[in-house]
Amino acid sequence: MEVHLLKVNQTFVYDSIFALGLVTTFDRFTVGYKPETDRFAVFHALCSALQFDSDRVRQDATTLSDLATRSPNEVKTLLTNLESGIHLEPLSGQLHTIANKANFKYSRLLGVGLYALLEIVDPEAIADNAKREETLKLVGDILKFGSDRLLKDIDLYRSNLDKIEQARQMIADMVEAERKKRSQKETASNAETTNDAAADSQ
């Protein structure tokens, strides 16, 4: 619903940062979804409902993440200093559009896209609470949509990921416990059958 409302907003601009945020959010929150092949169908259905081309969204996200992987220092500089003179397309143009477009419509998925880039180019800063907050504040202020909402959205995103991982681990533990219980019952049953057979043969 949130993405639908965002998309119909006249000031919404699709770019590869948004695409990276959408793909990253979907992929991380659906880890462990079975059957695995159905994840692609679900993503396609989600994009179709929002009138996005799922193949293009994934391609745009991949292009951007590959760019960050190839040129981490340049991407980090771009995210924290738009006047650096670095030109890395499509990222450079998109960041300048965000910073200079009147009434730019910030979105949570855009925030996640920016965060995903920072995870690639500066993982040490992202792992440290103080450095992460400092970096996100700088990015939010440079892109002129403010840092408060970006910080809030990323905190919520990280918190939800932790909760999902805890739930996933709890389910895995329950499945493993049930498997062991079943195995023990089968072992006990087999032992009882063996004992009965031995008694009958005497």
Per-residue model confidence as pLDDT tens digits over 141-159: 999 988 899 999 999 999 9
Specify the range with the lowest mean pLDDT, choosing from 95-109, 116-130, 167-181.
167-181
Identify the pLDDT of residue 133: 95
- The dihedral of CA 134, 97, 99, 75: what is its sign? positive
Of 91, 87, 35, give the one whose Cα is nearest residue 63. 91
The answer to whether 15 touches 94, Cβ cutoff 8 Å, is: yes
Write the pLDDT tens digit of every residue in 55-65: 999 999 999 99
Sequence letter at residue 55: D
Residue position matching structure tokens 């389910």: 171
